[in-house]
Every structure is written in C-alpha cells, then in structure tokens.
Amino acid sequence: MLRHIAALIFIFVCTTIAWMILGSTIMLRTHSSDDLLKGHVASTWGTTQEQVPPAATFVWNETVAVRTKEDGKTIVRNHDVEHTNSLQLDSTRLQVGLNLNHRQKGLLWYSTYAVDFDGDYSFHNNVAVPGTVTLRLPFPAQRAVYDGLTMVFNGQRVATSIDETAATSKLALVPGQTANLHVAYRSHGMGSWRYKLADGIAQVHDFSLVMRTNFKDIDFADDTLSPTAKKEIPGGWELNWRYSDMVSGLQIGMEMPEKLQPGPLAGEISYFAPVSLFFFFFLMFIITTLRGIDLHPMNYFFLAAAFFAFHLLLAYLVDHISIHAAMAISSVVSIFLVVSYLRLVAGIRFAALEAGTAQLIYLVVFSYAFFWKGFTGLSITVISVITLFIVMQATGRIRWSDKFARRPELPQKSA
C-alpha cells in the first residue's frame, strides 16, 4: 500500500511540473503577443482618447502714440501694438455616446469603442474693441480617425485648418459679442475615454456632460469624478455630470469593460490544475479502497494524462474559438478519455458513475469557477469542504491499520 501511494505521489508531482510548464508557456505566448497585437489593433482602431476643452484666444491691435526726439525735436509716431487675451469659458454642454465593440486578437480581447462627441462651448468676451478670435480644438488622440468633424461659430460653419494635434479656426469678433462654438465628430478608441477639464486644478462654470453607453458594466478610474446622476437605459446607462461652479483637479472618464481574457484564464486554470488532480486522485483512492477495486499506478498515470489533455487542448483552442466552446470541447474529450479507459479497467458502472462524476466536479466545475469573478476561491472552498465531509463519513468505520498492514508473502511453489 505504501509503495502504491508513493507511486501516486510521483505521478502527481510529474504531472504538476508539466502543468507549470504549460501554464508558463501560455502566459509567455499571451504577453509576447500582447505587445505586438495591441499595436496592430491601435493602428486600425485607435488608442486611448482624452479630450480637452477648446481654447479661445482673442487678438486685437491698438494704436499707441510713441514720442521720440530727433534733432532736438519731439516727434510723435503712431504704432500698432498687438494684444492677446485668453477668453474665459463660460459654459459647457457636452453629449458623448460610447459604443463598445470588443475585438479579439490571438489570446486576448481588446476593449475597442466608437465615440460620438457633440459639444457646445460659450466664451466670454470682455474686450471692448473688435478683433480676431482663434479657436483651437485639441484632438483627443493622434492615432485616430475623426469623421464628420464640424466647427460652427455663432451658428455659421467656419473654415478649419488641421495640424497633427488640433483643429483651428480664426474669425472676427466684435465688442461684446459672445463666442459660441459648436464642435462634433465621430471617432474610435481603445481602453478608456476621458474628458480632461484642464491641466492641474481647473475651475469650471455652468458645466454639463451627458454620456450614454451601450454597456451595463460601467467603471470609473480612481482619478475621475463620479457622475452626479445616472439612469439605466436599454442596453446601457445615461450618466450626467453637472456642476454650476466647481474647482477640481480630477477628470471625467470611462474605463471600458473587459471580456474574459482567453490567454490569462487558460494559464490560471493550468496553474490550478494540480488541485483538481489531487482531489480526483484522493477520491479515486478512497472509492477503490472501499469497494476493493485494484487500480495500478499505471492506471493512475493514464488518468493524469487525460486530465493534462484537457488543459493542453484548451491552451491551443482558445485563440481560435470562444473560451466557452473551447472549455466544452476540452471537457468532453477529457471525460471521454477517462470513462472509455476505466470501463476497460473496472467496468462501466465505476467508470461512468464514480469516475465520470468526480472528473466533472473536480476538473470541469473547478475550471469553470475561474469564470465567476470574485467567487472563484469561495466556490472551490465549498466544494472541497463538502468533499471532505462525504469522505469522512464514508471512511469513518475503516480500520486503516488493517488497510496499510503489509500483506504476508505467499509461499513459493516448489518445482
């Protein structure tokens, strides 16, 4: 019996080493491909976007009389002096639509989205002379496409010049005239979308931002403001940020929800596989001891190989099909290997009922526990405690000293 247990421990240790190698391989494939594939996704879909308010700079010329002395005479000449003043942002009205559309590359899903931005800004002109105002709208990201870019000043669409970082318009402004700017565009990004009120501490007046999402799982980063109001809409949320007069160094933003990542998930399941095999071996050892079924260590070796086949197949299916389909196929293949093998060793009843059920619980259910965010450890703990209770009740009357007693050697027959 002790040699039998030692052989099982050896098989368990060897299989554990194989799982550690497989898990490390999956993680290496995931991280090495992430650096490459993320750049490909960004080049076609865009990067993280951070929109900032437009800036309005008012420029006017003033004629100044300058007195100079030439040959003892005082001469007065008029000079044009250019003055510059930044117009204060009086009010902000923003409408933002975020439409999430995950894209898979290799072993990872990327949180890509489409954004519809629509904004109305009002600037206060406190200069009592005519001049020219320059309106500059910074782009939220350089590597992005901006479809339908529109800049409307006081109800009239204005000519716009584009450079690598911003869209700029120049137009005349009369004294006392309010500068109202309407901007709109459609774009794509990845990961998160933010609205940056200003660099450092910002003071905003009469500010309103309404954001609509097509996803329910909303998440705000640590350095962003929570909405002042929200309501659920079909398929998502409507979020409101409304401030009459606020001073803050925080931003407004939305982190896009992530899907279950096939690569990291398959790696975690592989690293946890020895726990599944331990419970399966433990239960098989108890059942065979109670029922007097003789399973040789070689039988356990093939059972361990069938368990390993589940994770090996899963590791190379997840980058071709969905993680759920990969789990289903891998589970069916592994259970088929175990049941079809044990029916030859110990009969179909033991193979299908005891072994098949144990594998379904300790391999498949344990693996699916990683899909339940926040409840993985609790689920496995509950199953483990229930297993311990059942085994303790079933073996309470066994005399283990007799089971582990060394069997007397049978006398050899003389020739």
pLDDT tens across 99-120, in order?
A: 998 887 767 788 889 999 999 9
Who wins on pLDDT, 64 or 210?
A: 210
Of the candidates 200, 251, 245, the residue with the CA atom closest to the CA atom of residue 223: 251
Distance CA 337, CA 404 (A): 31
> Residue 167 has which token pair?
């869209």
* Per-residue pLDDT at 409 exceeds 60: no
Q: Rounded to whole angstroms, what are the CA distances from 333 to 189, 249, 308?
A: 40, 56, 11
How is 139-159 classified by DSSP, letter by letter?
-S-SS---EEEEEEETTEE--
Bridge partners (DSSP) listed for residue 232:
237
* Per-residue pLDDT at 299 exceeds 60: yes
- Domain 46-251, CATH among 2.60.40, 2.40.30, 1.10.3470, 2.40.128: 2.60.40
* Per-residue pLDDT at 96 exceeds 90: yes
The structural domains of the chain, with segments of one domain joined by +, span 2-36+260-403, 46-251
* Per-residue pLDDT at 412 exceeds 90: no
What average pLDDT is seen over the chain? 84
Who wins on pLDDT, 132 or 186?
A: 186
Can you tell me the mean pLDDT for 231-248? 90
What's the pLDDT at 248?
Answer: 81
What's the pLDDT at 377?
Answer: 81
What's the pLDDT at 405?
Answer: 65
What's the pLDDT at 153?
Answer: 87
Who wins on pLDDT, 323 or 75?
A: 323
Given a contact cutoff of 8 angstroms between Cβ atoms, the answer to whether 345 and 295 are in contact is yes
What's the pLDDT at 174?
Answer: 80
Instruction: Say which DSSP state 94 is in.
Output: E
Q: What percent of the chain has pLDDT over 90?
A: 23
pLDDT tens across 357-395, in order?
A: 888 988 888 888 888 877 888 888 888 888 888 888 887
pLDDT tens across 245-291, in order?
A: 888 878 898 998 888 777 888 888 888 889 889 988 888 888 888 88
pLDDT tens across 20-54, in order?
A: 998 888 888 777 666 666 666 666 777 889 999 99
What's the pLDDT at 176?
Answer: 74
Within 8 A by CB and 6+ apart from 401, the residues are: none
What's the pLDDT at 119?
Answer: 93
pLDDT tens across 143-187, in order?
A: 788 998 989 988 888 888 888 889 988 888 888 777 889 999 999
Which pLDDT band, with edges at 50, 70 and 90, does 77 fall under?
Answer: low
Can you tell me the mean pLDDT for 85-89? 84
Which pLDDT band, with edges at 50, 70 and 90, does 309 fall under?
Answer: very high
Given a contact cutoff of 8 angstroms between Cβ atoms, the answer to whether 96 and 209 are in contact is yes
What's the pLDDT at 114?
Answer: 93
Given a contact cutoff of 8 angstroms between Cβ atoms, the answer to whether 285 and 8 are in contact is yes
What's the pLDDT at 187?
Answer: 93
Q: pTM to 2 decimals?
A: 0.70
What's the pLDDT at 415?
Answer: 46
